[in-house]
Amino acid sequence: MFLPDPTGKKKSIGMKLLWLLVVALLVAAGFAARPLYHKLKKQRATSMAASAEQLMEQERWQEAFNKLQAALQMDPLDMRANRAMARLLTLSRKEEAFRFWNIVFTQGSPTPEDRIEVIELALALKRLDIAERFLTEALKETPPPTAALRAAAFLGDAKGDSSMAIKFARFTLRQQTNDPQVQFLLARHLYRANNPESNEEAKQLLWSILKAHPDNSLPVIQTLAGAPNLHRNELQELLGIVNKQANATNGLELLKVDLAARLEPAKKDEMLASILDKAHSSPEQLLRTVRYLNQRREFEATIKLVKRAQALESRDLFLAYTDALAAVGYWLELQEIFQIAQLPIEPVLVELYRARIATELKDPAKANKHWEQVHWRAGDQPEPLLYVAEYAEKIGELNQAARAYRQLTKDPRHARSAFTSLIRITERQGDTAALKELVKTMVELYPNDPAPKNDLAYLNLLMNQEVGSSLQVAEQLVRDNPHLLAYRTTLALGYLRSGQNAKAKETYTGISFEWGSALPGWQAVYVGVMGAAGETGLLRQLARSIPFDRLKPQERELVKPWL
């Protein structure tokens, strides 16, 4: 009984072998099934992405979004799902779209159309660094797509670079002659050049837009009405158009009176009285009238029209009313108003205006106290910070504006534009060294953005510092972006600083730009380069046309020999 049963042992060994075989087969089946399972998941993800695309065509946005979320959970790298999600978020102007576009561009096979979508999204969200990076690639195509040329014009507009905006608007209109948005952009920038030829071309562009699109042209009408070079017959024709379109809600009734007054100046007071008579017909009409009066600097008329009690009932009317009081210097009256406990504006604005009033009444200690309250109440909230920064900059409180913009740089959504504003303020303060340090920070924060790299190279060259390395940066930027005058200007300055005067002059060969639309600093470099190359023919005339007060000290040195 206590000895092993040899028969039982054989049975036990046989059963173990059988179970081992079964387990091995199951494991093998599991390994074989895993690739099949992943393949089925990928197929399912792609199928769901295709269904989502159909839902997008039917404008069933939420259902498409849900379907794409599910597809990406199954396969986060499915290119069809990533592209569809990127397009869906692009349509709704969501910054999250960039994350999905990044996957498409780094791991998929992006199309030229994808690149244009990214550029247009970046422009809409004011991510100019992203727009410029993708545009550089789009413009390398031969010939560049019309959509890329168009986007470049709008990028120039967003950057405030009239030379770039005008150049690419012209390129676009050569291929797409009847694009009213590009025509309107071109007209606005031609007016900025402020010379008779540009003004006339801008006016003709506006007339052509107005005649081709008479039912959807309110901004065109308003811009044309403010044109400095309208003849009497044009005023009459525009007044006829306004008469047909004017109604109580679109603001053209006030413009109609304005045009009529320009045709008959002697009747201006009579026409203004007719506006004031109708102003109290509704709160909306009163606000429109007050804004109209303020735009035309009829501040006393605003003050007579609005009762203080009325202003205290409406945020927008209160702001317009107090703006009129400030414009004519009624600071004691404003001080009295801002002592009222309950005002129809946000506390941060109350403190902002109290700071302004104290400054105007020569009480700097009180002004500083209110400025501290302004920044404390604004905190890290983007909207109040932006309002404070822009208002402070407008009234010349540049240090307070810079403080608000610096706070905005901590918010990734607003950092890029806040840095741009800080640069503008630092330029106004005339401190080139401080400007260079600010731009250096931007280069570190945005290593893929070529614009700060160019700015840093330009400032180094202006200050005659790091000439060799800055020249190399400029050469590379021009190789990558031969169409941009900003980069060519830096390259020309680099050659000038390194004593290569002939190469500096050659930098401008093959590129055209409109002198009046170029930035003053670029004009100064051009004068310096042409002078060094011996092209002295028109330099004195060109040099004297540059707004000297808008130049940095080093740029003035380039122009001085030709004044």
SS (H, E, C) 265-324: HHHHHHHHHHHHHHHHHCHHHHHHHHHHHHHCCCHHHHHHHCCHHHHCCCHHHHHHHHHH
1 — pLDDT class (breaks 50, 70, 90): very low
Q: Which of 327-331, 474-478, 547-551 has the lowest mean pLDDT?
A: 547-551
* Cβ neighbourhood burial of 21 (10 Å; 0-12, 13-18, 19+): exposed
> Averaged over 468-492, what is the pLDDT?
93
* Cβ neighbourhood burial of 195 (10 Å; 0-12, 13-18, 19+): middle
Of 549, 560, 517, nearest in space to 194 by CA: 517
**How many CB atoms lie under 10 A from the CB of residue 429?**
12
Residue whose structure tokens are 């080139």:
432
pLDDT (0 to 100) of residue 5: 47
Q: Are 546 and 559 in contact (CB under 8 A)?
A: yes
Round to whole Å and give the CA distance between 277 and 288.
13
pLDDT (0 to 100) of residue 41: 64
> Averaged over 389-395, what is the pLDDT?
95
Report the phi/psi class of residue 32: left, alpha or beta, with left for phi > 0 and alpha for psi in -120 to 50.
alpha
Query: Does residue 300 register a pLDDT over 90?
Result: yes
Which has the higher per-residue pLDDT, 487 or 143?
Answer: 487
> Averaged over 326-335, what is the pLDDT?
96
List the Cα angle 461/466/468 in 5-degree steps: 90
> Averaged over 521-526, what is the pLDDT?
93
**How many CB atoms lie under 10 A from the CB of residue 492?**
27
Q: Are 502 and 533 in contact (CB under 8 A)?
A: yes
Instruction: Give tens-digit pLDDT for 153-209.
Output: 999 998 888 888 999 999 999 998 889 999 999 999 998 887 888 889 999 999 999
Round to whole Å and give the CA distance between 222 and 130.
33
Counting residues of the chain whose pLDDT is more than 90, the rounded percentage is 51
Q: Which of 11-20, 115-124, 212-221, 457-466 has the lowest mean pLDDT?
A: 11-20
257 — pLDDT class (breaks 50, 70, 90): confident
The 3-state DSSP composition of the chain as helix, strand, coil percent (nearest 5) reads: 75, 0, 25
482 — pLDDT class (breaks 50, 70, 90): confident
pLDDT (0 to 100) of residue 550: 87
Q: Which of 135-139, 224-228, 325-329, 397-401 has the lowest mean pLDDT?
A: 224-228
What separation in angstroms does the CA of 358 have from each of 17, 74, 332, 335, 338?
96, 62, 10, 8, 11
> Averaged over 97-110, what is the pLDDT?
90
pLDDT (0 to 100) of residue 214: 75
> Averaged over 204-216, what is the pLDDT?
86
- Spacing of C-alpha 397 from chain mean position: 23
State residue 247 phi and psi, 5-degree precision.
-150, 175
17 — pLDDT class (breaks 50, 70, 90): low
Q: Are 338 and 360 in contact (CB under 8 A)?
A: no
Q: What is the mean pLDDT of the chain?
A: 87
- Tokens representing 484 are 């941009």
pLDDT (0 to 100) of residue 449: 84
Round to whole Å and give the CA distance between 169 and 186.
6
pLDDT (0 to 100) of residue 2: 37
**How many CB atoms lie under 10 A from the CB of residue 307?**
11
**How many CB atoms lie under 10 A from the CB of residue 376?**
10
**DSSP for residue 249:** T
Q: Are 405 and 389 in contact (CB under 8 A)?
A: yes
Query: Does residue 105 register a pLDDT over 80?
Result: yes
State residue 456 phi and psi, 5-degree precision.
-65, -45
pLDDT (0 to 100) of residue 523: 92
User: Is the four-CA dihedral 34, 39, 44, 49 of positive or negative sign?
Assistant: positive
Query: Does residue 4 register a pLDDT over 50?
Result: no
- Spacing of C-alpha 194 from chain mean position: 23
Q: What is the dihedral of CA 334, 337, 343, 347, to 10 degrees?
A: 50
